[in-house]
């Protein structure tokens, strides 16, 4: 594969993993790391059992329980019978097939897309899959990471490969300086609002430009996490010193000589000068305001200082009806009932610190429920070590235990019908946070500011008056 044609980061990583390419057939793509969780793996394990085979590369497979777990009293048995059964089935399957499992009670347990990076399993140049669409998160390291269905989970378990048509390449460049109070979440919500919830379909997206390079690894993960929300297969960001500094010394990161060897390889991965993309978009970071969504797909977002746009289709009208919002209505001042700070998008230590810095010495508004759900046991431990739990307690914010929580209404944490929840998660679909729940997606900072005021505010103004 070593010709002189300039290649993209995505091309290099993809082409390095093609076991077989044949006209009319999807590529046979080798997978370096396979993460599994309780929801999308049981039917795949059943498939292996039916065939009487083992996992092809059990050492490249990592399991955790996250979607179904309660975020309170994790030391007690899970109350809900079906959730308990699914989590227990994962434990049984991992035991039987010899898969490493960081289940409830394990110090590494957490949301699958939080633990992979924090353990150093996620590395530049890898191919990474999981039966979960937000696997795109891991692309922040310069790996090709994407969500797969359960049939493909079974493909990877049985062969360490999956059949994939190579997506087209898109580059999204965000240059310039972000305003104070605007962060990674706002960047990605802004991009999705420009390109729509389907604008990236068929593409793998490289995020580039100075505003992206200036993000921390955690910010980059937030951006790549939501690349799926514009329909893209995944997002990818060139590995650089920020990436290497983040990884060095982590539990499963390469050490010693292997570290040096890895660095040399990783440094060869960024997109070559002159490489071309099938589509390219350029945005100015200074144009981005704190974002909030008003509809029922993540493309329906606007700057928080704007009003609800005029619906352009029947689907838009249906969305506003569901949300109980009217065209032309201002978003600032809209009362909220719940605040959810968590999920694979925004439940890392920097998110928790940003919230604590903002609320220090402030109190939540009366009648608002505020949940802070750390992404992993390690994030939880770190937050407590830094005394963030005290700050939250004084503000009336509830710090819970790690899991997917109210991001998807699958466990006990649900937003009641008709209630408004400002949420740092990734999806505002109808019923996503519970039947009839109304989700407004935003950054941790915007969510924290809303928690304090009891309604949507422009966090930029809160910062200047502080």
Q: Enumerate residues 127-166 that contact other proteins by CB under 8 A.
A: 131-133, 135, 147-152, 154-155, 158-161, 163, 165
Which is nearest to 217 in space by CA: 385, 351, 53, 86?
Answer: 351
For other proteins, the binding residue among 111, 144, 320, 410 (CB under 8 A) is 410
Q: How many other C-beta atoms are found inside a 10 Å radius of the C-beta of residue 403? A: 32
Which helix (H) or strand (E) segment holds residue 275: the answer is: none
Output the smallest distance, CB 438 to other proteins, in A. 14
For other proteins, the binding residue among 74, 91, 201, 242 (CB under 8 A) is 201
Letters for 362-401 (x = contact with other proteins by CB under 8 A, - = none) are ----------------------------------------
Binding-site size for other proteins (CB under 8 A) equals 81
For other proteins, the binding residue among 26, 105, 107, 249 (CB under 8 A) is 26
- Taking CB under 8 A as the binding criterion, the range among 43-51, 175-183, 213-221, 378-386 that sits at the site for other proteins is 43-51
Q: Tell me the pairing of strands 438-441 and 144-147.
A: unpaired
Q: Which is nearer to other proteins, 52 or 361 (CB)?
A: 52
Round to the nearest angstrom and report the end-to-end CA distance of the chain.
Answer: 56
Output the smallest distance, CB 22 to other proteins, in A. 8
Torsion angle of alpha carbons 126, 132, 138, 140, nearest 10°?
A: 130
Non-local CB neighbours of 236 within 8 Å, separated by 6+ positions: 9, 10, 13, 139, 142, 143, 144, 204, 205, 206, 207, 224
Output the smallest distance, CB 20 to other proteins, in A. 6
DSSP 439: E
DSSP 182-217: --HHHHHHHHHHHH-TTTTTTEEEEEESHHHHTS-H
DSSP 337-363: SEEEE-TTTS-SHHHHHHHHHHHTT--
Name residues contacting other proteins, limited to 237-256 (CB under 8 A): 252-255
Non-local CB neighbours of 50 within 8 Å, separated by 6+ positions: none
Contact call for residue 54 and other proteins (CB under 8 A): no
Name residues contacting other proteins, limited to 67-106 (CB under 8 A): 67-68, 82-83, 85-86, 89
Residue 461 to residues 183, 278, 299, 451: CA-CA distances in angstroms? 15, 40, 25, 15
Secondary structure (3-state) at 391? helix
Name residues contacting other proteins, limited to 255-274 (CB under 8 A): 255, 258, 262, 265
Q: For residues 458 and 338, what is the distance between their CA atoms, to the nearest angstrom?
A: 18
Contact call for residue 55 and other proteins (CB under 8 A): no
Name residues contacting other proteins, limited to 273-302 (CB under 8 A): 297
Provide φ and ψ at 439, rounded to 5°.
-105, 135
Question: How far is C-alpha 204 from the geometric centre of its chain's CA atoms?
Answer: 16
Q: Which is nearer to other proteins, 176 or 431 (CB)?
A: 431
Q: For residues 215 and 260, what is the distance between their CA atoms, to the nearest angstrom?
A: 24
Contact call for residue 59 and other proteins (CB under 8 A): yes
Name residues contacting other proteins, limited to 168-197 (CB under 8 A): 197
Residue 425 to residues 321, 373, 463: CA-CA distances in angstroms? 22, 11, 23
Output the smallest distance, CB 35 to other proteins, in A. 12
For other proteins, the binding residue among 16, 213, 307, 382 (CB under 8 A) is 16
Output the smallest distance, CB 23 to other proteins, in A. 8
Name residues contacting other proteins, limited to 308-367 (CB under 8 A): 313-315, 318
Contact call for residue 231 and other proteins (CB under 8 A): yes
Output the smallest distance, CB 151 to other proteins, in A. 4
Output the smallest distance, CB 372 to other proteins, in A. 21
- Taking CB under 8 A as the binding criterion, the range among 39-47, 179-187, 286-294, 354-362 that sits at the site for other proteins is 39-47
Burial of 168 (0-12, 13-18, 19+ CB in 10 A): middle
Output the smallest distance, CB 296 to other proteins, in A. 8
Task: Give me the helices (H) in 110-183, please.
Answer: 112-118, 150-159
For other proteins, the binding residue among 39, 65, 187, 379 (CB under 8 A) is 39
Residue burial 41-64, b: 16+ Cβ < 10 Å; e: rest: bbebbebbeeeeeebbbeebbbbb
Q: Which is nearer to other proteins, 15 or 280 (CB)?
A: 15
- Taking CB under 8 A as the binding criterion, the range among 34-42, 237-245, 337-345, 448-456 that sits at the site for other proteins is 34-42
Contact call for residue 113 and other proteins (CB under 8 A): no
Beta bridge partners of 145: 128
Q: Which is nearer to other proteins, 387 or 418 (CB)?
A: 418
Contact call for residue 40 and other proteins (CB under 8 A): yes
For other proteins, the binding residue among 19, 286, 384, 393 (CB under 8 A) is 19
Which helix (H) or strand (E) segment holds residue 92: the answer is: helix 81-97
Contact call for residue 218 and other proteins (CB under 8 A): no
């Amino acid at each position: 594969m070593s010709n002189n044609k300039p290649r993209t980061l995505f091309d290099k990583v993809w082409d390095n993993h093609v076991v077989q390419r044949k006209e009319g057939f999807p590529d046979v793509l080798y997978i370096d790391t396979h993460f599994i969780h309780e929801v999308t793996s049981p039917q795949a394990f059943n498939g292996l059992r039916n065939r009487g085979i083992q996992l092809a590369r059990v050492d490249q497979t990592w399991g955790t329980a996250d979607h179904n777990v309660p975020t309170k009293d994790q030391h007690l048995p899970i109350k809900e019978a079906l959730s308990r059964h699914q989590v227990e089935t994962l434990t049984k399957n991992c035991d039987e097939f010899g898969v490493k499992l960081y289940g409830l009670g394990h110090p590494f347990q957490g949301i699958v897309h939080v633990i992979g990076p924090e353990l150093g399993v996620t590395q530049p140049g890898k191919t990474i899959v999981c039966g979960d669409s937000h696997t795109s998160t891991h692309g922040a390291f310069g790996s090709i990471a994407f969500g797969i269905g359960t049939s493909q989970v079974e493909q990877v378990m049985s062969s360490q490969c999956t059949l994939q048509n190579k997506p087209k390449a898109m580059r999204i460049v965000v240059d310039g300086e972000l305003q104070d109070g605007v962060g990674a979440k706002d960047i990605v919500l802004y991009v999705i609002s420009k390109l729509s919830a389907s604008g990236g379909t068929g593409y793998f997206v490289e995020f580039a430009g100075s505003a992206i390079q200036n993000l921390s690894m955690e910010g980059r993960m937030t951006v790549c996490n939501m690349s799926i929300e514009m329909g893209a297969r995944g997002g990818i960001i060139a590995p650089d010193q920020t990436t290497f500094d983040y990884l060095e010394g982590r539990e499963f990161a390469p050490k010693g000589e292997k570290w040096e060897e890895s660095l040399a390889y990783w440094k060869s991965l960024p997109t070559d000068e002159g490489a071309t993309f099938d589509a390219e978009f350029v945005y100015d970071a200074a144009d981005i305001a704190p974002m909030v969504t008003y509809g029922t797909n993540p493309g329906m977002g606007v700057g928080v200082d704007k009003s609800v746009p005029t619906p352009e289709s029947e689907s838009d009208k249906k969305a506003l009806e569901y949300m109980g919002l009217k065209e032309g209505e201002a978003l600032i001042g809209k009362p909220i009932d719940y605040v959810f700070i968590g999920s694979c998008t925004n439940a890392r230590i920097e998110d928790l610190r940003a919230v604590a810095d903002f609320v220090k010495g402030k109190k939540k508004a009366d009648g608002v429920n505020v949940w802070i759900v750390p992404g992993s046991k390690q994030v939880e431990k770190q937050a407590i070590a830094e005394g963030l739990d005290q700050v939250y307690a004084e503000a009336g914010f509830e710090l819970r235990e790690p899991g997917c929580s109210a991001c998807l209404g699958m466990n006990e944490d649900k937003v009641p019908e008709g209630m408004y929840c400002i949420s740092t998660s990734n999806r505002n679909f109808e019923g996503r946070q519970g039947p009839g729940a109304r989700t407004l997606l935003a950054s941790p900072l915007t969510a924290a500011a809303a928690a304090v005021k009891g309604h949507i505010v422009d966090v930029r103004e809160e910062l200047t008056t502080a």
